[in-house]
Amino acid sequence: MWDEALAEFTETHPDISVVRELAPHSSTAYHDLLTQKLKNRDATVDVFFMDVIWVPEFAEAGWARRLDERFPPAMREEFLHATIEVGRYADHLYGVPSRIDAGLLYYRSDLLTKYGFAPPTTWDELARQAETIVEGEQPRNPTLRGYTAQFKQYEGLVCNMVEFIDGHGGSLLTADGTHSALAKPEAMAAVQFVRDRVIGRLASRAALTYQEPESLSVFLQGHAVFHRNWPYAWELANNQTRSTVAGQVAVMPLPGFTPGRTTAALGGWLYGISAYSQHPDEAWALIEFLSSQAMQKKFTQEAGIAPSRQSLFSDPDLLAAAPQLRNHFAVLRSATARPRSPLYPAISHALQRYFSRALAIDDLDLAHEATVADAQINRLLSLTEPVP
């Protein structure tokens, strides 16, 4: 899809040559690669993808150009409000929305129907359904597990745990954003649930090594009843050449711990322009093209990527091909953002270490570990003012 998009851009902009560089799938590894180039003021970087949580860091470091004048208010109104706000820092815009994401629950509709289950509304209900289905399917599919998601020590782990914690009425930080809240009872109970009922039970312990591709592969091969992922997974799950369960998959908002409460981590990517680019005009031309109505529709139709333009969520062509957009639009309204801070990479590393240890070590003292992580994160938060 990227080859087609860039070929089309080159055809309409013959005076501009685009060189694409590949990066790691992991946002954590990609962040390390990109920021190293920007720290070195590498002028070969013009346009880059920016995770929605990186904006404060990139703005404070002076790595991303302000886009206020190039990206006027009338143009911003065409995008979902949330996608504009994540690109803003200290009253300036640094990113143009490419895609917006929120966690969704994919499930085997054929298996739920077979066992007479309606889609689960709580994590406890999901666990009971999964256990019943796995036991019933054991003679036919001994490798079937109840759940698969992303629990490797990387940014995806933070997103997954945000969803469990938020679903239990907890949060990563206090309401004013000045202190870590990992040792609060609600957050502790959510982590305990994942450690005791998900890792090694609903999900294989191998899930501790899964990022998105590995966890999705398990689901596509028919080895999981439920699967947590971003909207792009819909196209792959129902692709006859890629999935053994195509046509047997449905999607819904992730459950919480009480009926009627849904929860999802807010994700997504923005286009940014390097402060050291020697071709800012050409960079903007590429961003305008890639974020256009026509190109976003094409990416959604052919690659399953959720758009950031408001009108596309009611586009009949897209809704026919990607019904998960209905769920996605509703989930976005209540999606939970991760902490916005120029020091977020350091905060994230502390969160990743805590969650990874908490899930992997069965006899770990959770209260002690959460208190230690709180202290580490509080020290980082004290170095900066809360981000507006």
pLDDT at 334 over 80: no
Segment 269-295 shows an average pLDDT of 97
Residues of the chain with pLDDT > 70, as a percent, come to: 99
Residue in this structure with the two tokens 């970087």, named with its chain if needed: 45
Task: Decide if pLDDT at 387 tops 60.
Answer: no
pLDDT per residue as tens digits for the range 193-229: 999 999 999 999 999 999 999 999 999 999 999 999 9
The pLDDT, as a whole number, for residue 305 is 84
pLDDT at 322 over 80: no
User: Can you tell me the mean pLDDT for 235-246?
Assistant: 94
Q: What is the dihedral of CA 290, 67, 232, 324, to 10 degrees?
A: -100
Poorest-pLDDT segment among 158-162, 268-272, 323-327: 323-327
What is the rounded average pLDDT of the residues 243-260?
94
More confident of the two residues 177 and 355: 355
pLDDT band at 324 (very low <50, low <70, confident <90, very high): confident
Please report, rounded to a whole number, the percentage of residues in the chain having pLDDT higher than 90: 85
| Per-residue pLDDT at 321 exceeds 80 | no
Q: Three-state SS for 13?
A: coil
pLDDT at position 358 is 98
Q: What is the mean pLDDT of residues 97-122?
A: 95
**Is the pLDDT at 388 greater than 70, yes or no?**
no
Q: What is the pTM of this model?
A: 0.91
Cα–Cα dist 306/103, whole Å: 12
Mean pLDDT of the chain: 94
385: pLDDT strictly greater than 70: no
Terminal CA-CA length for the chain? 36
| d(C-alpha 77, C-alpha 386), whole Å | 26
Average pLDDT over residues 166-173: 95
- Most confident option among 250-254, 260-264, 316-320: 250-254
Which of 286-295, 306-315, 343-352 has the weakest average pLDDT? 306-315
Residue 25 has pLDDT above 90, yes or no: no
Exposure on the CB side of residue 226, measured as CA atoms within 13 A: 30
Partner residues linked to 147 by β-bridges: 226
pLDDT of 320? 84
- Give me the mean pLDDT over the 281-289 stretch: 98
Locus of tokens 């991303």: 64
**Using CB atoms within 10 A of its CB, is residue 64 exposed (0-12), middle (13-18) or buried (19+)?**
buried
Tokens coding 104: 């969704």
Q: How confident is the model at residue 26 (pLDDT cuts 50, 70, 90)?
A: confident
Residue 113 is encoded by which pair of tokens? Answer: 């129907």
Q: Which two tokens stand for residue 9?
A: 């851009």
